Amino acid sequence: MQAGNENELVFWNKNQLCIGLDEAGRGPIAGPVVVAGVVLPINFSYDGIYDSKKISEKKRKELYKVIIENALDYVICIVDRSEIDKGNIYQVVKKAMKDCVLTSSINMSGVLTDAMPMDIDGKEVISLIKGDQKSISIAAASILAKVTRDQIMEIYDEIYPGYEFKKHKGYYTKLHKECIEKNGPCPIHRTTFEPIKSMLQPTLF
């Protein structure tokens, strides 16, 4: 199983490079969002690089090493909880994706995103629905973002042991709900996301 490369070929066939962008952590109510960008060599192929949500944790970690060893460049942007709460999560992710492109040391012609339209001067941007299944560059970025975020949430699990972050990674699961009900919100909970937002609002008498 491997994500496609038809959109990469738009650039590769002209001997041009492109960057794939994806994020992990837009939906959780705790922790950061992580955005990654990956520039792969022209005509790069590797079996198993696919949507990070569709492969096992063990496989993701293996592919993480393959990707960073073979990529011409990769950029990882971590946006913490406080920055997320200052703005709209969609716009936060969009800005981080642009930052990945502008931070890269590679002069690429194309930008491939997972359903995130944007304008970047001098770049052709292709926004793909389910891009992490259709583009090997986006799939590679999804793996870097997912593995990085999971590692961060495992660290938070040790810092805040009452919340089981290692198990649910900040998503609002039944277990997470029970932890919040028992302990209340902690510093990495997103204060603009429900149910945290309502829990933190002052009671009106």
- Helix (H, G, I), strand (E, B), or coil: what is residue 127? strand
- Where are the domains positioned within the chain? 6-200
CATH superfamily of the domain spanning 6-200 = Ribonuclease H-like superfamily/Ribonuclease H (3.30.420.10)
Task: Find the mean pLDDT for residues 74-82.
Answer: 97
DSSP state of 148: H
| 8 A C-beta contact, residue 89 and residue 170 | no
Confidence (pLDDT) at 202: 62
Residue 92: C-alpha distances to residues 98, 99, 148 (Å): 10, 11, 18
Dump pLDDT digits (tens) for 192-201. Answer: 999 999 988 7
Give the chain's mean pLDDT.
95
Dump pLDDT digits (tens) for 154-174. Answer: 999 999 999 999 999 999 999
Residue 19 reports pLDDT greater than 50: yes
Confidence (pLDDT) at 201: 76
Dump pLDDT digits (tens) for 38-60. Answer: 999 999 999 999 999 999 999 99
Residue 21 reports pLDDT greater than 50: yes
- Helix (H, G, I), strand (E, B), or coil: what is residue 149? helix
Work out the pLDDT band at 87, boundaries 50, 70, 90: confident
